[in-house]
Amino acid sequence: MRLVLLAALLVAALPVFAAAPARPARLGLCAACHGETGMAQMPGAPNLAGQRLDYLRNALAQYHDGRRDVAVMRAAIGPVSDAELDALARWYSAQPPAPQARP
């Protein structure tokens, strides 16, 4: 009986998970600097939360081929496959940006 209830709860929760992209396996690589939800964790690292997907994809492609020659980023994405980079771009793009305080 408990199992049935658990199964029903899981099914009810599924659409919530389907709405957002799955958490990428390589997220830990980026989170040290950009945070898990795209809010930067260190000085000099940009926030990525809510950034346009095409912009993130393009930026990653530029680090990849050297048009953006920034050592930390080139080292960070070196071992990551194109499919994984795309998953990371989709993840960060889907995160809600932090509300800005008005000056």
Can residue 39 be called a binding residue for ligand HEC (CB under 6 A)?
A: no
Closest CB to ligand HEC among residues 7, 53: 53
- Applying CB under 6 A, the site for ligand HEC has a residue count of 21
Closest CB to ligand HEC among residues 7, 54: 54
State the minimum distance, in angstroms, from the CB of residue 26 to ligand HEC. Answer: 6
Task: Compute the distance between CA of residue 5 and CA of residue 38 in angstroms, rounded to an integer.
Answer: 35
CB 40 within 8 A of CB 33: yes
Q: Which residues bind ligand HEC (CB under 6 A)?
A: 26, 29-30, 32-34, 44-46, 48, 56, 59-60, 68, 70, 72-73, 76-77, 80, 88
